[in-house]
Amino acid sequence: MEVLLIGTGGVGTVIARHLASSDRVDSLQLADIDFEQAERVAKRTGKKKVEPVRLDAGNREDVAKALKGKGLVINSSLPRFNTGIMEAALEAGSMYIDLALDDPEAQYKFHEAWRKRGNTAILGLGEDPGISNITAMYAANRLDRVDSVKIRDGETAVSKTYPFVCLFSPGTFIMETMEQPAIFRNGKLQRIERFSDKEMYNFPSGIGRLPVYSVNHEEVYSLYKSIGKGIRYVDFKLALTDDTMKYLEVLNSLGFTSEKKVSVGGCEVRPLDLTLKLIPQPAQLGSDITGKAIILVEVVGRVKGKRVKHVLYAAKDHRECYRKYGVTATSYLTGTGAAAGALQLLGDENIPAGVYPPESLNPDEYFSILRELDVKMVHRKEEN
C-alpha cells in the first residue's frame, strides 16, 4: 500500500524508519513544510521506496493532491491540522491516523461519514494517547468488572544545554497543561483545577518517585466508553518537575501562552507562537538528553469477585535510544506506537469502518508488533 506521512520531526523520523522497513508498505511519501528535513529523514531510511516532498499541512488543496492514490495517511505534525487532513482523507478514500487531538471529542463526529465510505480512522495513536489506551483495554479484557484505570507518564529527562525542554510537541505540551484537566470519577466526566491533585508516584524500571499531575488528555474521554464493565474512575497524570512547573507558571502568568494577538513594533504576534519559536524542538534534543521515559497503566477490577490489579509499562533510556535510533526515548515510544498501529491497519482487513480511538485495535496483535519494533510491555498482576 502507498502511505503518506505528514510531519518528519523526531516522531515522524521513527514512524518513517519503521514503515520503510515493512513489506506492507509499497511506497512511502514523507511530507513536511521543511523539505530539507523530509529529505534528510528519507535518506536515513536507505530505501528507494521513500520519497520526500514539500507540503504545507494547512493547505487543504495541496493535502488533497498529495493524498491521491494513498491507502493511508498519518498526521505526525500538529493537531490543529487534523480536521483538514482527515476531511481530505475521507474524500480520497484513504485510511487515517493522527497522534493527538486538539479537541478530545470533536473528530468523532465524522464517524458515520467514514463508516458509510467504508474507511477507517484511528485518532490519538502514539505513546499516550495510543499505547496507553490499548494497554488499558488489554488489562480490562482480563477482568469481569473494571473499577479504575490510572495512566502515568513518567520522565526523568535532563538537558545539558536547555533549562526547559519538551520531548514531544511543545505546542501540545503547553496547551494540555494550561487547560483544566478532565477525570472520570464516580461514573461522570468531571473537570478539576489545574495542578490540584499532585501525587508522588513510584515508577518501576529504576525511575523511582516522581511528582505527577492530572493534565487534559484524550484517554480520559474515550476509555470509560470503550471499556464499560461498570468502570468508575479514569485519570491521566504526567510527571512534571518542580522546575518545569515554575517555567509553565511564569509563561502563563506573563501571557506567553496566549493565542490572542498583540501588537509588537507594528506587527501582530501571538505570544504562544513566539514561545514555541524559542523552545527547542524535540528533533534537536536527541544527543543532549539523559534519563528515562516510561508509560505505565494500572487497571484494577474483579475476576469472580476477587480483586485483581494489572500494572503494565514500557520504559526506554534516552541515551540508548539516541545511540540506536538517533532520537529521544519519548520520540521513539511515540513514533513506534503510531507505526505499530499503522502496520496493524495495513495488515488487517477485518478492522471496521468508522472513526475510532486506539483501544479499538486488537491489543494482542498490537503488542506483538510493538515487540518486533523494540518496545516491550512488562506486565505485573497482583491479586488479593
State the DSSP string of 252-278: HHTTTT--S-EEETTEEE-HHHHHHHH
* Cβ(336)–Cβ(349) below 8 Å: no
Would you state the pLDDT for residue 171? 79
Q: Indicate the class that CATH gives domain 2-126+334-371.
A: alpha beta
Would you state the pLDDT for residue 172? 80
Would you state the pLDDT for residue 324? 94
3-class DSSP string for 355-376: EECHHHCCHHHHHHHHHHCCCC
**Mean per-residue pLDDT, 86-115:** 94
State the DSSP string of 205-223: TTTEEEEEEE---HHHHHH
Would you state the pLDDT for residue 301? 98
Residue 172 CB: number of other CB atoms within 10 A? 17
Q: How confident is the model at residue 266 (pLDDT cuts 50, 70, 90)?
A: confident
pLDDT at 286 over 80: no
Domain spans of the chain? 2-126+334-371, 131-327+376-383
User: Mean pLDDT in the chain?
Assistant: 93
- Matching residue, cell 507505526: 339
Is residue 71 helix, strand or coil? coil
16: its cell numbers = 518513517
pLDDT at 331 over 90: yes
Q: How confident is the model at residue 61 (pLDDT cuts 50, 70, 90)?
A: very high
**What is d(CA 53, CA 74) in angstroms, rounded to the nearest whole number?**
15
Selection from 127, 42, 123 nearest residue 89 by Cα = 123
Alpha-helical runs (H) found in 93-129: 111-117
Percent of the chain with pLDDT over 90: 76
**How does pLDDT run across 65-97, given as a tens digit for each residue?**
999 999 999 999 989 899 999 999 999 999 999
Residue 212 CB: number of other CB atoms within 10 A? 24
Q: How confident is the model at residue 298 (pLDDT cuts 50, 70, 90)?
A: very high
Q: Indicate the class that CATH gives domain 131-327+376-383.
A: alpha beta
